[in-house]
Every structure is written in structure tokens, then in C-alpha cells.
Amino acid sequence: MLILKTAAECSAFILTYRNKNPTHSIGFAPTMGALHEGHLSLLRTAQSTCALVVASIFVNPTQFNDPTDLEKYPRPIAHDIALLNTVNCDVLFLPEVSDIYPNGTAWQNPFLFGSLVTVMEGAHRPGHFDGMAQVVKRLLDIVEPDFLYMGQKDFQQQTIVKTMLAQMNSTCALVRCPILRESDGLAMSSRNVRLAPNDRALAPRIYAAMCLAKAQKATHSPRETRQNVLDFLTKTPKFGIDYVEIVDVTTLLPIENWSDSAEAVICATLRLGGVRLLDNEILC
């Protein structure tokens, strides 16, 4: 695997590759590292379509609204590189903050995201999605992929990136990859290692709640389903529930009737022992 550490090196490599292989497609999966099978699944999916697969590892400071979270974010880089080698990733882009933001981190967001960035995660993490869009835009300008691979795990992020690509008139296609889970259903996340053993045992209940919603869809309205999921989650007093919402996948706004939406998703986030757990399930 080729490791490129600066934007200039990465852009130059991509340009040369394109010139030599004009018909080949490039797939890209941006990550913040502390890789797990969920991340690797994005790369495997990319390999099934693309001739060249690029991963990036960059812990983006502008999307952290909690400095402690940024500081504590795991950075096991040697292990990450070993994992990327096991899936035959072609290129790792591994830049420093000063290389991604040579003129500082201030940014005037040119995109019109409307309520996409203020609902759900946006309401709990002000500025998070601006920072996320800032880094994804910068990475796309450097890597210029044909396909961008992102996990359904971060559902809201994905809808916002899709909107951003449309507003950029980008030819890059976003590929939504399914959530990889531990055997007990907990969605894999780099933050799971921070769960204390007792909390780790409780954590799969968030997935059980997503399954409950799926089972109830045939017999309950969105409002009833959401309430039943909330009732289920509040039975575990250690859960601090940030939100549970059943929304349209494109507008991210709550729906009143299942027929209001071609594709609806239940999104939930809760806090457990200082760790935020996100999960969602498409309710087609």
C-alpha cells in the first residue's frame, strides 16, 4: 500500500494515475482511523467496483465540538496500516492538520444545507456538520474519486454529503454501505472501546430498539412506533437519550404517516457512560 502524507503528493499521484489509466475508476473511503470491520467493509465494497481504492485517515478537528472527544479520539495508526494491508487497500492518504488546512481552519460554508444540519445530530453537536462538510470537500478536491463510500451508520452525514455533491454538480457517486455490527447487534464504532464492560453489555439494546421499530411498522403509525421505542429505551436508566426520530431519508424531517415517505429511517442516539452511541435502521 502506498502511503501519501501530503495533499500535493496525493493530487500528483491521482493525476498521474488518471493520465495512465483514463478508463479506470477511483473509489475513496474517508475515515478518522481506529479502523474496524465496518471501515474495511467500505474498502471491500469499493474494490468490487473500482480499479484504485484510496482510504484516508484524518482526525478532523473542525468537526469535534467537544475538545475532550477530540483529545481522546483513538489513533492506533500502526494497527490501522496493518488492517488496510489485509484488505489490499491501494493508497492511504494520511495528512497532517496543517496540510489539510494550510490557511487555518476558518471556513465560510458555501453550501445550502437548511435543516439537514440542525436536526438530530446537528441539534446536539452545533457546527459538527459544517466541519464534516469542510473536510469532505477538501478531501474530494484532492482525491477526485468517481465513487465515494460512506457508511449508513452515520445516516445524517451521508444525506448531507449527498446534498453537497449535488450542489457541487459533482460526477462523484455516493455509495451507501450497510452498518456492520458486532455479533450482539451493536453497531461497530471506533468509540466502542471506551465503553466500560457493564455498559458494553447494555449497549446492544439500542439495536434491539431499532429492531422493535422495524417489527412495529406494519401495525403502528410512525408516532406510535417512535413512542414505543422511547419507552423501550427508557427502561434502561443508564441511557441518556439524545433523540429518537423517524424521518424521511432525504429531508431528515419527521413523518406523520408511512405513506409520506418513499424511504423512512429511524435514527437514535444515546449517551452511555460518556460515550455517544448512534444507530439507525431503514424502515422501507
- Catalytic hit among 24, 36, 39, 220: 39
Which of these ranges, 67-75, 173-181, 231-239, 269-277, lies near ligand AMP under the rule CB under 6 A? 173-181
**Nearest approach, Cβ of 35 to ligand AMP (angstroms)?**
8
User: Whose Cβ is closer to ligand AMP: residue 125's or residue 226's?
Assistant: 125
The interaxial angle of helices 7-20 and 128-143, nearest 10 deg, is: 50
d(CA 115, CA 120): 10
**Nearest approach, Cβ of 186 to ligand AMP (angstroms)?**
9
Name, in order, each residue with C-beta under 8 angstroms of 118's C-beta and a sequence gap of 6 or more.
none
Residue 179 interacting with ligand AMP (CB under 6 A): yes
All three cell numbers of 15, joined, read 493525476
Residue span 31-60 as binding mask against ligand AMP, x where in contact by CB under 6 A, dash where not: xx-----xx-xx------------------
* Interacting residue with ligand AMP among 143, 150, 210, 244 (CB under 6 A): 150
* Interacting residue with ligand AMP among 4, 177, 206, 283 (CB under 6 A): 177
Residue 188 interacting with ligand AMP (CB under 6 A): yes
d(CA 161, CA 148): 10
Name, in order, each residue with C-beta under 8 angstroms of 214's C-beta and a sequence gap of 6 or more.
281, 283
Is 36 annotated as catalytic? no
Which of these ranges, 80-88, 92-100, 168-176, 182-190, lies near ligand AMP under the rule CB under 6 A? 182-190
Give me the helices (H) in 52-168, please: 67-72, 77-86, 97-100, 121-124, 128-143, 155-167
Name, in order, each residue with C-beta under 8 angstroms of 192's C-beta and a sequence gap of 6 or more.
182, 186, 200, 203, 275
- Please check whether residue 132 is in contact with residue 157, taking contact to mean a CB–CB distance below 8 angstroms: yes
Catalytic residues: 39
Residues forming the site for ligand AMP (CB under 6 A): 31-32, 38-39, 41-42, 150-151, 153-154, 177, 179-180, 187-190
